Amino acid sequence: MPGADKETDLSERIESFLSELKRCGSGAGSLRGSAETARETTALLRRITAQARWGNAGDLMEIIRKEGRRMTAAQPSETTVGNMVRRVLKIIREEYARSRGSTEEADQQESLHKLLTSGGSSEDNFRQHFAHLKANVIEAINELLTELEGTTDNISMQALEHIHSNEVIMTIGRSRTVEAFLKDAARKRKFHVMVAECAPFCQGHEMATSLSKEDIETTVIPDAAIFAVMSRVNKVIIGTQTVLANGGLRAVNGTHTLALAAKHHSTPLIVCAPMFKLSPQFPNEEDTFHKFVSPHEVLPFTEGEILSKVNAHGPVFDYVPPELITLFISNIGGNAPSYIYRLMSELYHPEDHEL
Amino acid sequence: VTRLRVKPGESILETSKRTNSRQLPEEQPLLQAVLVADSFNRRFFPITKDQPRALLPLANVSMIDYTLEFLTSTGVQETFVFCCWMASKIKEHLRKSKWCRPTSPNVVHVITSDLYRSLGDVLRDVDAKALVRSDFLLVYGDVVSNIDISQALQEHKQRRNMDKNVSVMTMIFKESPPGHKTRCEDDDIIIAMDGKSKRILHYQRAQALKRLHFPMNIFHSGSDEFEIRFDLLDCHISICSPQVAELFTDNFDYQTKNDFVRGLLVNEEILGNQIHMHVTKDGYGARVSNLLMYDTVSSDTIRRWVYPITPEANFADQEGQSCTHSRHNVYRETGVSLGHGSQMEENVLIGRNTMIGANCTISNTVIGANCVIGDNVTLDRAYIWNRVHIADDVKVKQSVICDNVEVKHGVVLNEQCVLAYNVVVGPDITLPEGTVLSMHHPDEEDDEDDDEFLSDDNDVGYRKDKTKQKVFNPAEVGSEGKGYRWKTSSLEDTEEDELAECIWGLVLNADPESDSESEVSEGSHDLGSHPASPELDDVKVFQNEVHGTLQRGLDENISCDNLVLEINSLKYAYNISLKEVMQILIRVVLEFPFHQQGAQISTAQYSSHLLPLLKKWAPVFKNYVKRPQDQLDCLASMEEVFLERETHWAALVKVLMSMYQLEILEEEGIMHWFNQGSTTDKSQQLRRNQGLLKFIQWLQEAEESSEGDE
């Protein structure tokens, strides 16, 4: 039976994606960039939409929510996956609303009274069947995929507006977005980059090698020297793992130090973050916020006797509060941290915040 | 010296030819693994009486799941799980697990047999069933690891492509210097290796040896880089070529990997097989070979050394299992409740729906699902499995508490206690260090695994004295307790020390005084398998082997020619002189009826059993007794045997008579022996035996008459 075949094929794909998610990130950050994760998640969700059995939008949303929960549980620190699930859910809502003939605007701007009284009743409305819904949703997801493809380019295109000649830029660790951003600027302008090495994983070393290959003047500094060097720095440009709902960051270890030093010297701190990193999560959710990896880099396994006498931890992320951040540069332009809540409501439906 | 027994009619050359003929070049074969889900020892007794070792929970997940996760994440696509002890339980577990779902990237086949007694048996079966087609991974079902072996795999392939089939195995080691807590002293090894090619030249288990010997020839190997390393931890993961299985078939006395490695290294020049090694610096790999290792590996898992295989990852994908990780490595599953004032200090994992009372202090501890723990309980390095009830005011230090155990009010468990399944302890009792309690009485140990070192003969005798008391001893388990004490490691009884060491392994950094003691017990349980000191017992072992051969010859009706062949090959294997062979042969044959019928048989029974045997094996004797000197030796050893058994002297004459008739012995020989000046009183007595005198007389007469005929 071809139908059954399709389904086993689909669940096989989901399983392999899940196990890959679980395994990714055995080192410091993820093995693949989060852009790739976002694309893969969206492609998988498109496949689910195309191949799973569903009669109406309600069913489809239920399926996607269920798989989305499993995917986020597989690697809680990879928020991109959950974000993409929410984006797709939002797409389904919009397409459903359009098929019914109501405008997006009406859905978007409900009155306070309606918000209070409606409760979960909007769910019931998704039971109607539309023949074109599937094709429309898939097309919308395709658009989302195209958008994802272009994010890094869109961000690096804005580089020339922010980086000027003979500036000293500081960054920390290795972010693919920042790397592309700096390289783009380097085509026109000459500037100096200081890279904090980001111990113990030292992704900063890779970043510096990559930048110097493009003939950018690059200096690697130890994390301890961040404050000392900060007085010479014109701008701090960093990447992040997640942009939180309050406009704060969940970024690689040491970023908070960097942000505080920048604040002290009144150096602007610019965060390059594509929109898919925007998560409705708040920093108070302790359990999923942290990620601890093997303490091997902190205290090597070969140390021997001392290991039984001490506890070594290998945390990966730092929290950076929004008041330390000057500007976010995303694929849709620059925004202040205080504007994040607005972007959030544009991208995700409030009912989807909790999957 | 490793034995190399050759079956009759098969020469070494033929076997090695067969090894090379089976290679099929394949482009991208799928990666296979052989997982041995049995330890073939009793280290975890009495816990493993109820549950096989591979299913014991480590940080609330069965050990075999760690191994399968490791294999799957390294890209293994097909795994053969071999089980023996409690195979049905392992099978059931795997059937329910995610590995047997149709979506699993790693196809798991379970192969069970009650006949597996060692790793060797398993690999011989792999060969017999032709399961592996290309290089495969060999692991035990209790290995916890996150090592990325793809590099080692590639190196292995390269070596094999470069030098056609010379390298048969790559062993994975983890660098960890002496004194590391994850190093288990049982497993201490010394390796001599070629620094450039990573070839292993010498492999030896150190095990508290004070002096080490290296064969000279390894220094002549022509390499200028040479390393001797003692900082390696054997992860018990090896990449094997299909030849490994074949080599096990060809050498049917290989039991363990240790036998195999040493055998291969010794015969390297003959067979041309090499073993290489791969040392990993990052990545974690260890085998849970005793409870001490269980303790360290559990704590390493909780301290996230095995990342990404951590408790909260729920890699086994069990339904309803989800875990949160908070600071100081505290893990909680769903439904955990913690009473007022209780503290989870650090490195704690608590299973779902477990209730913990007030004012408890918990550190470095794993607690399973559905446990109830009372107030004012102190747990440190405790490993508590599922559905355990612990009452108020209990203190536990470094102990293992299995499923469904009840620990009553006020109990104190000191270090290294084990409470096996369903035991009840207390109230108000303090268990001394190293107490092992089980619902199984130590006497009811079935003897099916008698070949293991734990049940030596003198032990059995000791136990038989103690009549089977089925009453629980309140002094051992408390007034309301249920369970029998197995053995304690109390200092006054060195014999009992051994078990505690076995189940917990050797204690690291043991006091210098206790060193000698541990050495003694080491030697005693490793006899036979320990390669360092076999010379001592070669003759004895040879005698046993000859006995076994003859017994088999009798049972299976093997022809005398083949018996001679087997005895000859044994002679070479143990380096026994021809004279000794004959002496031993005579001794074995003369004592044969005692072995078969018991030592108490009468002289008449004895001779009636012996004489047909002599007749049957006459060709064997004739093969060894040829010259007059042989006859004298033969007679001398006969005398020796009979001197030990005064009561059966009457049989001597019958033996002599029949040997004479079978033309094994000649009259000159017998006369010479008889007239030889005997030194001891006893042998003179023997010669004055009535029957013997008569026989000699008859011989003389026969001689004279034959002379007269001439």
pLDDT digits (tens, 9 = 90+) for A260-289: 999 999 999 999 999 999 999 888 766 667
Taking CB atoms and an 8 Å cut-off, how many pairs form between chains A and B? 93
B398 contact A CB<8A: no
Q: How would residue A173 be classed by pLDDT, with cut points 50, 70 and 90?
A: very high
Q: Which of B287, B311, B334 is the last residue of a domain?
A: B287
B314 contact A CB<8A: yes
Q: Are residues B283 and B335 in the same domain?
A: no
ipTM of the complex: 0.85
Instruction: Give all strands (DSSP E) within B48-188, no chain letters.
Output: 57-58, 61-62, 78-83, 107-112, 136-140, 143-145, 167-175
Q: What confidence tens digit (pLDDT) does each residue in A298-338 have?
A: 888 887 778 878 888 888 898 999 999 999 999 988 999 99
Q: Are residues B273 and B375 in the same domain?
A: no
CB burial of residue B34 (10 Å; 0-12, 13-18, 19+): buried
With pLDDT > 70 as the criterion, what percentage of chain B qualifies? 82
Neighbouring CB atoms inside 10 A of B513's CB total 7
Is residue B254 assigned to a domain?
Answer: yes
Q: Tell me, what DSSP letter sits at residue B219?
A: G
Superfamily of domain A3-103+129-148: translation initiation factor eif-2b, domain 1 (1.20.120.420)
Q: Report the distance separating Cα B326 and Cα B335, nearest Å.
A: 16
Q: Do domains A3-103+129-148 and A152-347 have the same CATH topology?
A: no
Alpha-carbon torsion, ordered B1, B5, B11, B14, to 10 deg: -90
Q: Are residues B195 and B105 in the same domain?
A: yes
Q: Report the distance separating Cα B667 and Cα B628, nearest Å.
A: 11
The answer to whether residues B392 and B357 touch, using CB atoms and an 8 Å cutoff, is yes
B180 contact A CB<8A: yes
Nearest CA in chain A to B285: A301
Contact A293 B304 (CB under 8 A): yes
Asked if pLDDT for residue A103 goes beyond 70, the answer is: no
Q: Report the distance separating Cα B375 and Cα B339, nearest Å.
A: 8
How many Å lie between the alpha carbon of A308 and the closest alpha carbon of chain B? 6
B179 contact A CB<8A: yes
A185 contact B CB<8A: no
A355 vs B237 pLDDT, higher one: B237
- Give the global pTM: 0.73
The minimal CB distance from A302 to the residues B148, B281, B307 is found for B281
Q: Are residues B144 and B269 in the same domain?
A: yes
Q: Are residues B281 and B327 in the same domain?
A: no
Nearest CA in chain A to B175: A302
Asked if pLDDT for residue B530 goes beyond 70, the answer is: no
Provide the residue range defining the domain that includes B630. 536-705
Q: Are residues B272 and B197 in the same domain?
A: yes
Contacts of B282 in chain A (CB under 8 A): 294, 296, 301
Q: What confidence tens digit (pLDDT) does each residue in B374-409 have?
A: 999 999 999 999 999 999 999 999 999 999 999 999
Asked if pLDDT for residue B666 goes beyond 90, the answer is: no
Contacts of B344 in chain A (CB under 8 A): none
Asked if pLDDT for residue B448 goes beyond 70, the answer is: no
Q: Report the distance separating Cα A102 and Cα B522, nearest Å.
A: 82
How many domains, chain B? 3
- For residue B195, what are its two tokens? 């620094």
Query: Helix, strand or coil for residue B191?
Result: strand
Is residue B551 assigned to a domain?
Answer: yes
Contact A311 B346 (CB under 8 A): yes
Contact B304 A304 (CB under 8 A): no
Contact A23 B73 (CB under 8 A): yes
Asked if pLDDT for residue B271 goes beyond 70, the answer is: yes
Q: What confidence tens digit (pLDDT) does each residue in B198-230 have?
A: 888 888 887 667 777 887 777 776 677 888 888
> Which of B136, B118, B129 lies closest to B528 in space, CA to CA?
B118
With pLDDT > 90 as the criterion, what percentage of chain B qualifies? 20
Strands B389-390, B406-407: pairing is parallel
Instruction: State chain B's mean pLDDT as an integer.
Output: 78
Q: Report the distance separating Cα A89 and Cα A10, nearest Å.
A: 19
Q: What confidence tens digit (pLDDT) does each residue in B464-490 have?
A: 444 445 678 888 888 888 888 886 443
Q: Are residues B437 and B560 in the same domain?
A: no
- For residue B175, what are its two tokens? 């660098």
Neighbouring CB atoms inside 10 A of B555's CB total 8
How many Å lie between the alpha carbon of A83 and the closest alpha carbon of chain B? 20
- Residues in CB range of B498: below 8 A, 6 or more apart: B521, B524, B525
Q: Are residues B561 and B626 in the same domain?
A: yes
- For residue B643, what are its two tokens? 């001197």
How many Å lie between the alpha carbon of B323 and the closest alpha carbon of chain A? 9
The minimal CB distance from A15 to the residues B103, B308, B326 is found for B103
Annotated domain spans of chain A:
3-103+129-148, 152-347
Contact A305 B326 (CB under 8 A): no
**CATH code, domain with B326:** 2.160.10.10
The answer to whether residues B368 and B57 touch, using CB atoms and an 8 Å cutoff, is yes
Contact A19 B284 (CB under 8 A): no
Q: Are residues B549 and B417 in the same domain?
A: no
pLDDT of residue B613: 81
Is residue B87 assigned to a domain?
Answer: yes
Q: Are residues B229 and B335 in the same domain?
A: no
CA-angle at B432, arms to B431 and B437, nearest 5°: 55
- Output the DSSP codes for B606-638: HHHHHHHHHHHTHHHHHHH--SHHHHHHHHHHH
Q: Are residues B392 and B282 in the same domain?
A: no
Residue A72 is which amino acid? T
Nearest CA in chain B to A299: B305
How many Å lie between the alpha carbon of A220 and the closest alpha carbon of chain B? 25
Q: Which of B408, B424, B441 is the last residue of a domain?
A: B441
Q: How would residue A24 be classed by pLDDT, with cut points 50, 70 and 90?
A: low
Is residue B190 assigned to a domain?
Answer: yes
Task: Report in angstroms the alpha-carbon separations of B431 from B263, B375, B414, B514, B612.
Answer: 45, 20, 6, 22, 60
**CATH code, domain with B692:** 1.25.40.180
Contacts of A300 in chain B (CB under 8 A): 281
Which of the residues B76, B183, B282 would you substitute to probe the A interface, choosing the one with the greatest number of A C-beta atoms within 10 Å?
Answer: B282
The answer to whether residues A319 and B352 touch, using CB atoms and an 8 Å cutoff, is no
Which of A 65-84 lie inside 8 A of B, CB atoms? Answer: 73
Task: Give me the mean pLDDT over the A147-158 stretch.
Answer: 92
A301 contact B CB<8A: yes
Query: Helix, strand or coil for residue A265?
Result: coil
Lowest mean pLDDT among A245-249, B69-73, B693-697: B693-697
Lowest mean pLDDT among A178-192, B117-131, B142-156, B162-176: B162-176
A108 contact B CB<8A: no
B72 contact A CB<8A: yes
Residue B85 is which amino acid? W
Contact B325 A286 (CB under 8 A): no
pLDDT of residue B706: 62
- Residues in CB range of B280: below 8 A, 6 or more apart: B147, B148, B152, B172, B173, B174, B175, B235
Superfamily of domain A152-347: Translation initiation factor eif-2b; domain 2 (3.40.50.10470)
The percent of chain A in helix, strand and coil, each rounded to the nearest 5, is 55, 15, 30
Q: Are residues B270 and B341 in the same domain?
A: no
Of A194-203, B96-105, B599-608, which one has max mean pLDDT?
A194-203
Asked if pLDDT for residue A123 goes beyond 70, the answer is: no
Is residue B213 assigned to a domain?
Answer: yes
The answer to whether residues A292 and A314 touch, using CB atoms and an 8 Å cutoff, is yes
B8 contact A CB<8A: no
Asked if pLDDT for residue A114 goes beyond 50, the answer is: yes
Contacts of B329 in chain A (CB under 8 A): 292, 311, 313
